[in-house]
């Protein structure tokens, strides 16, 4: 779904009274006018008063929304359908419609004796759960092109290297390619996976540690292109593209994710590139103007 154009979103539940109405109001607020938001139900009734009230608490007015039958919606006009029912009866969908399912319990109580404050609490929980999911959906829409991964590398810290090597040899169904007293490296070419176990040394994580996610791309130009794409999307660049020679020679770019976890985008050097290794093994920066001051 990364580069799909999602312009028309339909939220569905059974009665189109609470969950899908709350979702419609939240999505209009969070996704903005560029996305057309609708809601409907298999057995539509009316917008529940507590749905209106719980949305008003966060400054969103859904009092003018109306319950709609799913039969009144043209499936061809919808890019994405999100069903919200946790019960067994849920609106059926044509197989060719792109579909997400968020099973959220109906906040409308079965017990008529339930106190109003308890009912409000159910609706507030429903609202907050739907809002958190729509916030993630909003972050996924209109993602620009990223790197083109060919392999993945991950490193984790472990307390006992022998115990963890045994576990991951079982889990990945392969012996490590190599190991020392400090690390073990597992290679699964069929999964495009390079996975490293590191002995935990108790030191704080920093830019020199190997604890990170790595994404392998095809060549030097793809690393440079990944840098420009990272700049365009506003990603944090830890180290700009460069060719490093010490250890494993690579073209590499280091980023940080929103939680400051390190991400390496790298390409292995060709045989011809390896012949260009400088005597001092100093890194070569690949984008003009990105080298640190001397």
Q: What is the DSSP string of 29-91?
A: HHH-TTSEEEEEESS-----HHHHHHHHTTT---TT----BGGGS-GGG-SEEEEEE-SS---
Per CATH, the number for 161-285 is: 3.10.180.10
Are 8-140 and 161-285 in the same CATH fold? no
Which residues pair with residue 265 across a beta bridge? 215, 253
Listed residue (162, 256, 244) closest to 205, CA to CA: 256
Q: Tell me which of 133 and 91 has the higher pLDDT.
A: 133
Extents of the domains making up the chain: 8-140, 161-285
| Confidence (pLDDT) at 198 | 85
Q: pLDDT averaged over the chain?
A: 89
Distance of alpha carbon 103 from alpha carbon 110, whole angstroms? 18
pLDDT at position 210, please?
57
Count of other CB atoms within 10 angstroms of residue 289: 6
Q: Within a 10 A sphere around the Cβ of 211, how many other Cβ atoms?
A: 15
Q: What percent of the chain has pLDDT over 70?
A: 93
Sign of the torsion angle spanned by Cα atoms 168, 174, 175, 178 = negative
Arithmetic mean of pLDDT, 22-40: 96
Chain centroid to CA 11: how far?
21
8-140: in CATH 3.40.50.2300: yes
282: pLDDT strictly greater than 90: yes
C-alpha 199: how far from chain center: 28
Maximum distance among all alpha carbons in the chain? 82
Range 225-234 average pLDDT? 93
Asked if the model's pLDDT at residue 208 lies above 70, the reply is no
Q: Which residues participate in catalysis according to the annotation?
A: 13, 85, 90
Write down the pLDDT at residue 42: 87
pLDDT per position as a tens digit, 42-57: 889 999 999 999 999 9
More confident residue, 158 or 218: 218
Sequence-distant contacts of 33-38: CB under 8 A, at least 24 apart: 34/7, 35/6, 35/7, 35/8, 35/9, 35/141, 36/7, 36/8, 36/9, 37/9, 37/11, 38/8, 38/9, 38/10, 38/11, 38/68, 38/73, 38/78
């Amino acid at each position: 779904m990364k580069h799909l154009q999602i312009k028309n979103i339909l939220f569905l539940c059974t009665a189109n009274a609470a969950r899908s109405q709350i979702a419609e109001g939240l999505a209009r607020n969070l996704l903005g006018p560029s996305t057309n938001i609708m809601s409907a139900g298999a057995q539509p009734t009316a917008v529940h008063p507590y749905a209106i009230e719980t949305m008003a608490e966060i400054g969103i007015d859904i009092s003018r929304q109306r319950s709609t039958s799913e039969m009144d919606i043209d499936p061809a006009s919808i890019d994405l359908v999100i069903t919200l029912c946790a019960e067994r009866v849920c609106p059926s969908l044509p197989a060719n419609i792109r579909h997400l399912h968020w099973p959220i319990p109906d906040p409308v109580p079965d017990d008529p004796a339930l106190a109003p404050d308890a009912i409000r609490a159910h609706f507030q929980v429903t609202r907050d759960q739907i809002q958190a999911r729509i916030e993630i959906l909003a972050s996924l829409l209109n993602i620009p092109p990223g790197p083109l991964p060919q392999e993945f590398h991950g490193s984790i810290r472990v307390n006992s290297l022998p115990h963890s090597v045994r576990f991951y040899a079982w889990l990945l169904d392969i012996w490590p390619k190599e190991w020392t007293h400090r690390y073990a490296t597992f290679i699964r070419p069929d999964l495009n996976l390079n996975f490293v176990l590191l002995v935990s040394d108790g030191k704080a994580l920093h830019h020199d540690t190997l604890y990170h996610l790595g994404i392998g791309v095809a060549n030097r130009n793809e690393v440079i292109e990944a840098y420009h794409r990272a700049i365009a999307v506003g990603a944090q660049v830890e180290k700009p593209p460069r060719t490093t020679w010490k250890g494993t020679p690579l073209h590499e770019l280091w980023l940080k994710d929103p939680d400051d976890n390190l991400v390496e985008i790298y390409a292995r050097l060709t045989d011809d590139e390896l012949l260009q290794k400088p005597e001092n093994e100093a890194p070569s920066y690949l984008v003009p103007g990105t080298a640190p001051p001397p």
